[in-house]
A and B are shown apart, each in its own frame.
Chain A
Amino acid sequence: MNLFHEKSHATTRRHFLGKFGLGALAFSLLDGRAASAALSGATSDPMAPRAPHFVPRAKRVIYLHMAGSPPQQDLFDPKPKLTELNGQPCPDSFLQMERFAFIKGHPTILGSPYKFAPHGQAGITTSELLPHFQSISDEVTLINSMFTDQFNHAPAQLFLYTGAPRPERPSMGAWATYGLGTDNSDLPGFVVLVSGGRQPDGGKATFGSGWLPSVYQGVQCRTVGDPVLYVSDPPGMDRAGRRRSLDALRDLNEKQAAYFGDDETLTRISQYELAFRMQVSVPDVMDISKEPPEVHEMYGTAPGKQSLANNCLLARRLVERGVRFVQIFDWGWDIHGTGPSDDLITHLPNKCKEMDRPVAALIKDLKQRGLLDDTLVIFSGEFGRTAMNEARNGSTYLGRDHHPHCFSIWMAGAGVKRGYVHGATDELGYRITKDPVHIHDLQATILHILGMDHERLTYRFQGRDFRLTDVHGKVVKALLA
């Protein structure tokens, strides 16, 4: 599909004739035809389900993003050597050719204050901060050898979701819906849920459509108040009245689309129609109060609150109803140690408590409902954290700085191995020693699991065929089940 070309084709004749005034006769003749040509785009719904390049392993994705980036040494990648060397100056080689976001001078090694133990049949070793994760560790593929190019939050998040560290390009969920459409035409194909009281640093570009038609951008739903802002009718407007006004608006927009041939007008028509259907469907799917008590118990949810737990439950409800891509952001994982609100001893355990139970519940719930068969779940931050204590401005709280050279993520569900650990880092957890996985490789693998070849999922913009993986990326076959 190339709406860009559709636009250029639809524009020229009418504009030429319009501007040079060849007369009412020619204009009316051609305008009628052109209108039908432009609207053929409107009738072919940009969100209609489409076949992927090959048989997919997953039909849907839930991406759990811990914004700020949790410390891998304290959760997934145990490094006893760090504990042994705790408090000693780090090796000089750690500082050569290196820039840190905050660390200054010669930092000291910071061992993890938390105990690790192997769990489950696969014996994946995780931290005591994640008691619930132990129960799902046999379901996940843990990658300890992720690395990225970026060491600040916004560029690293953009890099992860759009393939470039600058805002402009489409996000992963936009690429997914551009490639596959969505199954439930009453709900957005790409839903974004945010908790932790803050938007991701990368801003809305982390779930935007970039230069793809804006119909593919993520729709942010709120867990407090109206799920989607401004979608409910104001007092005094009944549904029939809304329908009539939308019909009138659609007629005007169709005229506009026929005249200017701008695909954004078509996007707008279909978005209004979607919004109209969402007035019924969204409050229904977003209302978690109807879930039975044992579900709330399992997730630790509290209806009417903004929380990661609520969003995990919502994610399950959304994929159950055929939403293609659910993107969750939870802020608060930026463990710098500048005070008790972002340190390793007080803050990290609190965040883990908020996260561990609902995330494990989500995997178990998807599994028992059979949804894990065709849903891929990914859990990650945007980069890793240093093996050294940050001690910004002499802070006595423990914390770690940003670290792009290695970090841990996990995936579970359709298409990936169960109870598998991929890659390894050196004994101080500073660099990768085995099977490095770059961000572009992760993106290529996710698209592959969805049935798409990352080299063939392209969009022509400004004379170039763009991809999510830019000109890089290799599918990591070892992760695939």
Chain B
Amino acid sequence: MNLQHHPLSSRLRLISLTMALAALATSAFAGADTAQSGPAWMNAIPNWAPSWLPRLSGRGHVVLVHFPIALLVVAAACEFWNALRRRTDPSRSGLTCLVLGALAAGVSAATGWINADLEGARTSMAETLSLHRWVGVAAAGASLLTALVIAPLLRPGGRGPIGAYRACVVISAALVGVAGHFGGSLVHGENYFWSVIFPQSEAPAASEATKPAPWPAGMATKPGTIDFEKTIRPIFETRCVECHGPFKKKGGLRLDLRAGAFRDPSTYVIVPGKPDESDLLHRVTLPPSDPDFMPDGEKPLNPDEIAALRTWIAEGAYWPESLTKVEDLDAKQRDTELRAATRHSFEEAVVIDRSTGKPVPHPGGQAMAAADAIRAKRGVVVDLGADDARLSVDLSVIAPPIGDADLTLFDNLRPTISWLNLSRTAITDTGLNSLKGLPELERLRLEWTSVGDSGLDFAPTCAKLSSLNLVGTKVTDAGLAKLAPCKSLRKLYVWKTGVTPDGIAKFRAARPEVEVVEGVQ
């Protein structure tokens, strides 16, 4: 054996030929009948083989594929270097790389086929998978052809088809590169690399991500009989999120986040109130042999879980954004989700006007802007709770104190303001007019302001006002009398005001259910 004189040793040739034939036979066999739902080649596996063998060898693909990529690219680089130096004989290192790379390509193609049949055939990225499959097979074929047919024709001293050889090596390397790209896309998603180098190419995705999670049409605004966190989320997390979660997002669907589950209304994954129109429920109830069955390749959900999902969807698919369970997201997305969960959800709140029974028009981005304007002044706008989109607004912490003009700040938040703190601000009776008709206002703090009797006209127009703090204001008995018609009022604070014991006694007689706190005079 003299490699000096012959580029390909006969022992190497023998080994490579045997393995290549085996690989080709396997891949041809495997590819023979993939149209059916279960790969037919499974039947040919001898009984003595352990049951995990096919899947293990299939998963070996993701390890093996790195060899042909590196080896064939190095082979091409070696030949390129030789061509630059105007050498007419093949690079010996390149040849070794080519042979090993071709072998690895053959085995990779075979295992890849097995893997695709067993695990990926019904992936959402079917088109990419198909491209990956056929370009990969072409790469394996081209490299084996080059190694086994063209390379042996080369002769020492620069004789033989060196040009054709080089071209074939380069084509093989290119093909394996393209196949690798599609493979990478399958695993890591599209734009895995470009998004790093060209941030702007990420732009559509980013703007989509920073959009607040929409409150899906028709979703219930209050919990039903099924506790989402205790019943539904665990089903998603144990049975779905492995593939539809932060790491894989198959079909673009994520079931770990509300925004991910309701991302695209045209997919009908979950249609609130309509279990029979919800694709999610449809798929989990299919027979496991159906290509659309979910969880793909796993055992079906148990009847209790299916029943819970059905009830949950029927009751409006109430899905509260979680405050703390966001740790699995990548940093940027987590930040976005956190904002969506803690800052923006009020924007999508559906508020029903009690008088008309119709939803109050969506305040949309104006509400966002209003909230941000208040926050920019270090005021507080926050949802009452993650499961309740009414707002708690605190303008008392703004320095210097705000005046009447600043009350326009919350104009666009009017439909949902529930707790409002205006204490120690510079507002006056005129300013209080802007509180007229706040539909959800429950608790109002006006203590230590210069508010007087004439400012209290707004109170009876706020149908839900239940707690009013007038401590340290100029309100007198006349003002107190104005509050008597406030039907929902339950607590009233009048310490340090002009209100007299007589006035309080009269008020108590009219409204015995209201707790009037006078304090230590």
Contacts and interface: CB of A to CB of B under 8 A. Distances in A.
Interface stretch (B33-41, B70-78, B330-338, B504-512): B330-338
Given A369-B447, A456-B229, A51 B378 contact: no
Nearest to B382: A49
Contacts of A37: 331-332
Contacts of A368: 471, 493, 495, 517-520
A1 B386 contact: no
Interface residues on A, range: 35 or more
B331 A1 contact: no
Interface string A181-215: 00111100000000000000000000000000000
B380 interface: yes
B122 interface: no
A53 B341 CA distance: 10
A321 interface: yes
A80 interface: no
Contacts of A40: 331-332, 335
Interface string B373-414: 001001011111111101010101101000000000000000
B59 interface: no
Interface string B293-306: 00000000000000
A44 interface: yes
A59 B520 CA distance: 24
A5 B332 CA distance: 11
A29 B195 CA distance: 12
A374 B197 CA distance: 51
Interface string A32-61: 010001001100100011111111100100
Contacts of B382: 49-51
Interface stretch (B126-134, B263-271, B321-329): B321-329
Contact of B384 (A55, A179, A460): A55
Contacts of A48: 342, 375
A183 B397 contact: yes
A370 interface: yes
B397 A185 contact: yes
Interface string A440-476: 0000000000010000111010000000000000000
Nearest to B223: A54
Contact of B397 (A41, A51, A322, A370): A322
Contacts of B327: 2, 4-5, 460
Contacts of B519: 364, 367-369
A51 B196 contact: no
Given A54-B386, A54-B388, A368-B493, A6 B380 contact: no
B469 interface: yes
A51 B324 contact: no
Interface in A288-333: 298, 321-322
A460 B491 CA distance: 42
B443 interface: yes
Nearest to B467: A373
Interface string B347-376: 000000000000000000000000000010
A105 to B, nearest CB: 51
B501 interface: no
B520 A456 contact: no
B331 A321 contact: no
A175 to B, nearest CB: 11
Interface string A1-27: 110111001100000000000000000
A16 to B, nearest CB: 13
B467 A369 contact: no
A54 B385 contact: yes
B383 A51 contact: yes
A321 B399 CA distance: 11
B513 to A, nearest CB: 16
Interface in B144-159: none
A44 B385 contact: no
B183 to A, nearest CB: 22
Given A50-B342, A53-B386, A367 B517 contact: yes
A165 B187 CA distance: 46
B445 interface: yes
A30 interface: yes
B386 A369 contact: no
Given A40-B331, A368-B493, A55 B199 contact: no
Contacts of B384: 51, 55-56
Contacts of B229: 456
B339 interface: yes
Contact of A2 (B326, B383, B493): B326
B82 to A, nearest CB: 27
Contacts of A458: 324-325
Interface string B98-119: 0000000000000000000000
A381 B496 CA distance: 35
Contacts of B493: 368-370
B338 A1 contact: yes
B197 A29 contact: yes
A44 B385 CA distance: 19
Contacts of B378: 185-186
A370 B517 contact: yes
Contacts of B330: 9
B331 A51 contact: no
Contact of B323 (A9, A53, A185, A364): A53
Interface string A403-419: 00000000000000000
Given A5-B327, A370-B447, A51 B386 contact: yes
21 contacts: A1-B326, A2-B326, A2-B334, A5-B331, A6-B331, A33-B196, A50-B382, A51-B341, A51-B383, A51-B384, A53-B386, A55-B390, A59-B392, A183-B380, A281-B399, A298-B520, A321-B397, A322-B380, A368-B495, A369-B495, A370-B447
Given A2-B334, A458-B325, 13 more contacts: A1-B324, A49-B382, A51-B345, A51-B385, A52-B385, A52-B386, A53-B387, A179-B324, A183-B394, A322-B396, A364-B520, A369-B495, A460-B327
Interface of A: 1-2, 4-6, 9-10, 29-30, 33, 37, 40-41, 44, 48-56, 59, 179, 183-186, 281, 298, 321-322, 364, 367-370, 373-374, 451, 456-458, 460
The 10 closest A-B pairs by CB, nearest first: A368-B519, A51-B383, A2-B327, A370-B469, A370-B493, A54-B385, A9-B331, A368-B495, A55-B385, A184-B397
